[in-house]
Structure 1
Amino acid sequence: MSAATTPPPARPFIDLFWQQCDATPDRIAVVQGDQEWTYRELRVQSCLVAEQLKEVGVCPGDRVGMCLDRTPIAIASMLGTHLAGAAFVPLDPDYPADRLQYMVDDADIHTLIGHAHHRSLFPGNVDHDHAPQVDGDQQLLWLDADRLVTGNLSSTTFFRGDFPALDSDHLAYVMYTSGSTGRPKGVLINHAALTTYCLADCDVYRLLPNDRTLQFSTLTFDIAMEEIFPPLLVGSCVVVRPLERADSVNELSHLIQQHQITAIHLATAYWHEWVDLMIATDAKVPDCIRLMVVTGEKISVDHYQRWLSICESEVLWCNAYGPTEATVSATVFIPDGEFSDANMPIGKPLPGYEALILDSDMREVAMGETGQLFLAGPALADGYLNRPDLTEAAFVQHTDKVGTQRRLYRTGDVARWMPDGNIDFGGRVDHQIKLGSYRIEPGEIEAALTSITNVSEALVRADKIDGQTNLIAFVALSFDSDSQVSYEQSSDAVRSQIAHDLREQLREELPAYMIPSRFVLLDRFPKTINGKIDRSQLPDHHAAVVARDNRLVAPRTELEHRLHDIWCTVLQIPEMGIDDDFFLLGGSSLLVTQVVAKIKDQLGIELPVRDFFANPTIELTARHLQSLMRDQLCSANNDHSQVEAQRARLPEVEAFFFRSGSHDLFGVHYTPPANQPVANRSVVICHSIGHEYQRSYRNLQQLAVHLSQQGWNVLRFDYAGTGNSHGTAVEAAPQVMKRNIHDAVQWMTQRHSTNPVTLLGIRLGATLASQCQHPVVDQRLLWDPVVNGQTFLRRLDDLHSATLVNGSRFSQPRLAGSIDQAYGVRLNHVVRRQLEELKLAPDISTDHSSCTFLLSQDYASMEGIDATHLESKTVVPLSDEIGWHVAHWNESAFASPDAMRKISSLLVSETSSSNQEVTT
């Protein structure tokens, strides 16, 4: 056993922070981009949050949910929650909505602070301003984080006595981790535990007032706690990672250099990839770094040696270990200059912590013998929220041979004492998985799998494939005995398609990091004589398939072939299609750095990480690389000033994903050129679906560029289940699309403050846009809207039938009715019914927003439009004949210069004089 020194009295963190603010009020406490707060300003902002919480009824002991991005207001919200006497509960916006709702219910959260673009994840919430004043069913009260920020933080004075006093045993936060029972479990961390850890962190890592610590991790991970809280006890600065991705091949190094970061904490897997990327790009460790803490899983000694080879400055390098139940980290190993062992130890207990290694009879093992690692001390969690059974199993009372009693936490890790007093880590006792910075209970994934129809049994494990850890799901599928189906003997294409369907259903229940990247499909599991799954008889990872649609588009060009080889090597799969999404095949942000490094090494092209995220298929990456190569050739052959002039006329284009419900929607944002005055208006473009989406895509893309060049911020996006957005085709129902439009407007509102928004919809997008009631939408431009859903659907069905009759579209005959599919649209009965019921609202009123119809030359005859639909409405005729219903134009893109001119005119009119009417 190793015991640390007696820790100082465990006062609540917030009291120590208050003292630090008194000592260094004018030092910079937190910064992100152009926003920075001194310690005085951060404290005032935190007090204002606390007052808001008290105003809406938050009492000491309550739990406040936080669905926040990495921002200064997130830090102030944590501190403000403590000042209000409550505990905060981080909620990850990337989690499925059902998982978030479970956490809200489990933690008994009644008040939630969130960024507005995450609000749709929590249905049924109410605004503070519209909170019900009568007793009744408890609703989730929503506090918009951005509305909590105030610009005047210097004139207000608060005193610690203005807020409730806290004891060390009061709850500080609840951190949810994966649960073996199929549901996440909340770990209860009190103020004594938080303070004990923070003081130990400051001591061991030798934090200095002039440090600049990077707040890099998502707020739902322990790493975020060590990035935020300890620096605030020594008067140093927390630099919050920018929300926008940097235009750099080595994004992390660029970020560190740009902000002169001195202290950084990284998950082991990310640190490994960062080291590899620096090696591949001939880069050195940024010389501003003073402290490097790596944590999460076992360190590769090879990577540590590579780090030493590229590190030319003195860095305090640390390997930290610790479960959430021991408040971030419990032990740390700091190698000396002579370190050359094959394995990296996890070190010695931090100050205030104790470690014991016990055998199965709970007796301490001798030096060098293996046992289970237990932790003790005031930094241990109180247990698990609402789970006394789990708490009793994991937190045990122990009396040692001299009669000393301790409360211990059973880590489930195997370890042994080394002669120098360090601990050697030996793996897990159970089947728990460490993947990156995540701790995963395979039982939770297995429970989600067995809830799927036809899945009789499931087992999940982590296998190393060429040094990379992969989640592999073994799934036994039930089938009709008369059919004699054998999943084990099916073709790879069939099994990949089944795996794809399983993965899509898992995405509705589990966060992305818990989705297996490979599946082994079995008719039945091998069993022991006792009826348990015989793990030793399971196939190895070579029997696994990658989840993928059975349609495989092979590489066509030399560049696509080379990218295909790079991606397959990184993802460790035999083949993939050029339109397969890198991330849906098991790729992660960590693996992106490998791809970027290999592209530079093999192709000599520096691809910014940000650009890869915007082009996640081989086809898109190849196009982007060709564009980069053309730019390089253009730069070499043209006068620099001419090139700059051309670029200056182009908008800045940013591709990204944003959240809408349980889906990630693909969006493209167009920022006006730097030399163009920006109009006080944003435009959101709403497309149609099916073949009309394909026909209008290029025209809307050109229109977006055109409008942005004139000064408007423009957003194009794909509905859930369409284009590049996540989801399946049958999820693209009108009700989902309406929500997507609302959330797209909300994203623009957050991006551009309170600018009014114009909705520009074409066909089905116009009809849906006409029904959007977002308060910032004050203009709707409806281009050839669908009047009647039944007519629209009948036309798509007729076009689809025509393609089946001539047989020219499909390489193999397809029977009519084999798939419920309109032309280019996969349907089910729910989507079909919603489409049939869709109608252009006849009561669109100009009282609330300007509404203008742009009608192509053949629109009225095609739609059979009733004049009453447009009575007293503004109608702008277009000279173009688009022919939505003309069969031989189905595959043809169209251009509409007349529409571009008139849309620009309408936007100008609305901007210059909102009351000016357009000639009917």
Structure 2
Amino acid sequence: MPHSIHQLFEHLLSQWSDLPAVEHNNHSITYLELNQRANQLAFEIQQKAPESVIIGISTTRSIDMVIAMLAILKSGKAYLPLNPTYPNARLLELIDNAELEFILCDYSEEQFFNKLELNAVTYQSVKNQEIANHSFPFFEERAYVLYTSGSTGKPKGVCLGHAALLNLIQWQSTNSNAGIGTRTLQFAPLTFDASFEDIFSTLITGGTIVLIEEQWLIEPEKLLRFIDQQKINRIFLPFVALQFLTDTAIAQNIYPQSLQYVMTAGEQLKITPQLVSFFSKLSNAVLFNQYGPTETHVCTCLRLDGDPQQWPALPSIGIPLPNTQIHIVDEEAKEVDHGVVGELWVSGVCLANGYLNNPSMTHEKFVDWTDAKGQIQRIYKTGDLAKYLPDGNIEFLGRKDDQVKIAGHRIEPAELELILTNQTGVSQAVVLAQDHNNGLKRLVAYLIANPQQVNQESIRMALKKILPDYMIPAVFVFLDEFPKTSSGKVDRKALPKPDRRRPVLSQLYKAPQTTLEKNIATLWSDLLQWDTIGLNDHFFELGGSSLLAINCIARLRNEYQITIPITTLYQYPTIDGLVNWLKHGHQKNE
């Protein structure tokens, strides 16, 4: 029986060696080619980095990226994804914590990673030679390292091992009809744990991984048409992306009949009317609601099939996967009866090994626990609230602490608060996630700061140098003091809602004049929650996000019959810029 992901891949290879394994931009490689090229790269890794335990991998999508994932595992190492679009300061933090020395990347990224003091092994430098499968020694407890937001102010690296991942993909292969010929769209970035599931659950069943251009992931109409044209059968995506996909499908009347399996995770699934309409128009599509923090990957799942009209509005997270146990416990660490709310703890083969080079946090979250039968089990404390339902399914009920999810990304407000208080002029900070537009959440930072040293624009620019975009608050509220509870703690519930008045910006306010300018300004005002928007105000510097950009493009089309590619909004993120772009004949009317 194989004891690692790569051994399982090699064990099954002969069954589909000549079938297409990965496709991208009209290019494809077979399973045999994938295995051979991964062997060549694994040999190169062993030659250049024999002592390294962890090897970095660029998240830039390509066939080589998939080869590199498999090669790192074959070389006996663990992979650590690094996103070259992140600020250098953030990447250096991860590199330093992981004690990383080598990264696999395209030759076009070599200089970038060299500047981060990493030894770049480029895909193009690997020798094309016949190399047989070779069993390099490997660490069973470490297949990959993924970083999440940390409450101590530093990101923490979750180390997941081969046993947990084998359990996951073997369950996946036996609980879906996906197999030889199934075409899976690779949606999640490598920094998300779902990327492992969609790639390797495909590679051990003889299916084909279909890669897509990065920018299409934030263009729902292009994504839908790609799914339809490429006959995609399976996709893994967060609920918020599924929401935009279904909204666009209805608006554009695009219902890819090839789609059979949709897996969603990362946030509370809501069965909206749009979701019901979308799945009702598909022939035999099944929706899977998966649950699991990065520290366990998927540990429960609910299957929704049949008539979508009968699906519950707020589905449960289902039942535990095989070899996984879910415990609902009270404040005294005792399991509660079914129907009683408690904290969700996880035990079993799915648990991560812990946090990389962070023993104190590992010992805090992964503990030995004595159950009611007197048996000692290693468990992970999720911090999630839940309860068992009478039918054995588990209902997710939110968090017991302040941790939030923004567009599928897990964020610890405490990390942001520490970073904010380290900025010049800021003495105190509180960060909340608040409901925003169309069911989305946004981060709001409340600051006590010196107005002579800091404002919304300056603090945003400072954060852009050290944090990825999804972690930067949409709004900054400046207060003289924070409301307090009777015990002297900050009363988070009493913090005021953000003022809609346009913030102080470097550019002067210039009012919209034409009907088109006024229409876009009205739309932006509603999306971004500011009372006025000037012609030269920057969409993203006023709190715009990739999800709000998708919403903006959809509403321009639906309300004003103006179709603008989402990339254009990134190129011309002001009303003046968009209007000028449209004046030069780029507009497409529907």
Q: What is the rounded CA distance, in whole Å, between the counterparts of 2:44 and 2:448 in structure 1? A: 52
Equivalent residue for 1:140? 118
Equivalent residue for 2:96? 105
Deviation of residue 622 (structure 1)? 2.0
Q: Calculate the TM-score normalised by the size of structure 2.
A: 0.93
Equivalent residue for 2:303? 334
Q: What's the CA shift string for 1:472-530, capped at 9, x where partnerless?
A: 00101147xxxxx9x9xxxxxxxxx8111111111111111000001110112223344
Determine if contact 2:219/2:550 at 8 Å carries over to the other structure.
no
**1:473 maps onto 2:445 in alignment:** yes
Deviation of residue 143 (structure 1)? 1.2
**1:315 maps onto 2:285 in alignment:** yes
**Counterpart code for 1:606:** T
Q: Calculate the TM-score normalised by the size of structure 1.
A: 0.61
Equivalent residue for 1:420? 391
SS in 2 for 1:416: strand
Q: What is the rounded CA distance, in whole Å, between the counterparts of 2:504 and 2:288 in structure 1? A: 38
Equivalent residue for 1:562? 519
Q: What is the rounded CA distance, in whole Å, between the counterparts of 1:80 and 1:544 in structure 2? A: 53
Percent of residue pairs identical: 33
Aligned residue runs from structure 1 range 792-871, under 5 A: none
Alignment CA distance shift 1:273-1:345 (3 Å):
same
**1:397 maps onto 2:397 in alignment:** no
Equivalent residue for 1:12? 4
Deviation of residue 579 (structure 1)? 2.4
**Counterpart code for 2:493:** S
Q: What is the rounded CA distance, in whole Å, between the counterparts of 2:215 and 2:17 in structure 1? A: 30
Aligned residue runs from structure 1 range 434-513, under 5 A: 434-466=405-437, 467-478=439-450, 498-513=455-470
**1:531 maps onto 2:488 in alignment:** yes
Q: What's the CA shift string for 1:538-597, capped at 9, x where partnerless?
A: 212347865743522221221111111122222233222222232232222222222222
Deviation of residue 315 (structure 1)? 0.2
Determine if contact 1:548/1:585 at 8 Å carries over to the other structure.
no
Alignment CA distance shift 1:632-1:320 (3 Å):
closer
**Counterpart code for 1:474:** Y
User: Which of the residues 12, 27, 40 maps onto 1:35?
Assistant: 27
Determine if contact 1:204/1:350 at 8 Å carries over to the other structure.
no
SS in 2 for 1:594: helix
SS in 2 for 1:398: strand
Equivalent residue for 2:268? 298
Aligned residue runs from structure 1 range 218-367, under 5 A: 218-243=189-214, 245=216, 250-281=221-252, 283-303=253-273, 305-308=275-278, 311-327=281-297, 329-336=298-305, 337=307, 339-367=310-338
Q: What is the rounded CA distance, in whole Å, between the counterparts of 1:299 and 1:570 in structure 2? A: 23
Q: What is the rounded CA distance, in whole Å, between the counterparts of 1:116 and 1:516 in structure 2? A: 34
Q: What is the rounded CA distance, in whole Å, between the counterparts of 1:392 and 1:10 in structure 2? A: 30
Determine if contact 1:192/1:379 at 8 Å carries over to the other structure.
yes
Aligned residue runs from structure 1 range 391-790, under 5 A: 391-466=362-437, 467-478=439-450, 498-542=455-499, 548-549=505-506, 551-628=508-585
**Counterpart code for 1:511:** P
Alignment CA distance shift 1:247-1:371 (3 Å):
closer
RMSD after superposition: 2.5
**1:58 maps onto 2:84 in alignment:** no
Alignment CA distance shift 1:26-1:417 (3 Å):
same
Equivalent residue for 1:715? none
Alignment CA distance shift 1:542-1:69 (3 Å):
same
**Counterpart code for 1:104:** I
Deviation of residue 13 (structure 1)? 0.6
Q: What is the rounded CA distance, in whole Å, between the counterparts of 2:315 and 2:473 in structure 1? A: 28
Determine if contact 1:50/1:83 at 8 Å carries over to the other structure.
yes
Determine if contact 1:472/1:544 at 8 Å carries over to the other structure.
no
**Counterpart code for 1:592:** A
Deviation of residue 124 (structure 1)? 4.6
**Counterpart code for 1:587:** G
Q: What is the rounded CA distance, in whole Å, between the counterparts of 1:117 and 1:617 in structure 2? A: 31
User: Greater CA radius of gyration, 1 or 2?
Assistant: 1
Alignment CA distance shift 1:318-1:309 (3 Å):
closer
Q: What is the rounded CA distance, in whole Å, between the counterparts of 2:13 and 2:66 in structure 1? A: 15
**Counterpart code for 2:270:** S
Greater shift after overlay, 233-242 or 619-628?
A: 619-628
Q: What is the rounded CA distance, in whole Å, between the counterparts of 1:116 and 1:569 in structure 2? A: 44
**Counterpart code for 1:143:** V
Equivalent residue for 1:164? 136
Deviation of residue 22 (structure 1)? 2.2
Deviation of residue 340 (structure 1)? 4.5
Q: What is the rounded CA distance, in whole Å, between the counterparts of 1:388 and 1:433 in structure 2? A: 24
SS in 2 for 1:539: coil
Alignment CA distance shift 1:629-1:181 (3 Å):
closer
User: Which of the residues 76, 81, 86 maps onto 1:90?
Assistant: 81
Determine if contact 2:39/2:131 at 8 Å carries over to the other structure.
yes
**1:76 maps onto 2:70 in alignment:** no
Alignment CA distance shift 1:391-1:301 (3 Å):
same
Alignment CA distance shift 1:270-1:545 (3 Å):
farther
Equivalent residue for 1:493? none
Alignment CA distance shift 1:305-1:124 (3 Å):
closer
Q: What's the CA shift string for 1:115-140, capped at 9, x where partnerless?
A: 34444544556xxxxxxxxxxxxx63
SS in 2 for 1:541: coil
Q: What is the rounded CA distance, in whole Å, between the counterparts of 2:265 and 2:323 in structure 1? A: 19
User: Which of the residues 152, 158, 182 maps onto 1:211?
Assistant: 182
Aligned residue runs from structure 1 range 896-915, under 5 A: none
Q: What is the rounded CA distance, in whole Å, between the counterparts of 1:249 and 1:320 in structure 2? A: 22
SS in 2 for 1:583: coil
**Counterpart code for 1:517:** A
Deviation of residue 204 (structure 1)? 2.8
Greater length-normalized contact order (CA 8 Å, ≥ 6 residues apart)? 2
Equivalent residue for 1:869? none
Q: What is the rounded CA distance, in whole Å, between the counterparts of 2:351 and 2:179 in structure 1? A: 26
Q: What is the rounded CA distance, in whole Å, between the counterparts of 1:247 and 1:26 in structure 2? A: 33
Q: What is the rounded CA distance, in whole Å, between the counterparts of 1:310 and 1:546 in structure 2? A: 44
Equivalent residue for 1:724? none
Deviation of residue 93 (structure 1)? 1.4
User: Which of the residues 114, 119, 123 maps onto 2:105?
Assistant: 114
Q: What's the CA shift string for 1:411-444, capped at 9, x where partnerless?
A: 1000011111111111101100111110001111
Determine if contact 2:564/2:587 at 8 Å carries over to the other structure.
no
Alignment CA distance shift 1:116-1:396 (3 Å):
same
Deviation of residue 631 (structure 1)? 7.5
**Counterpart code for 1:213:** T
SS in 1 for 2:145: strand
Q: What is the rounded CA distance, in whole Å, between the counterparts of 2:236 and 2:399 in structure 1? A: 24
**Counterpart code for 2:20:** I
Greater shift after overlay, 236-245 or 381-390?
A: 236-245
Alignment CA distance shift 1:615-1:364 (3 Å):
same
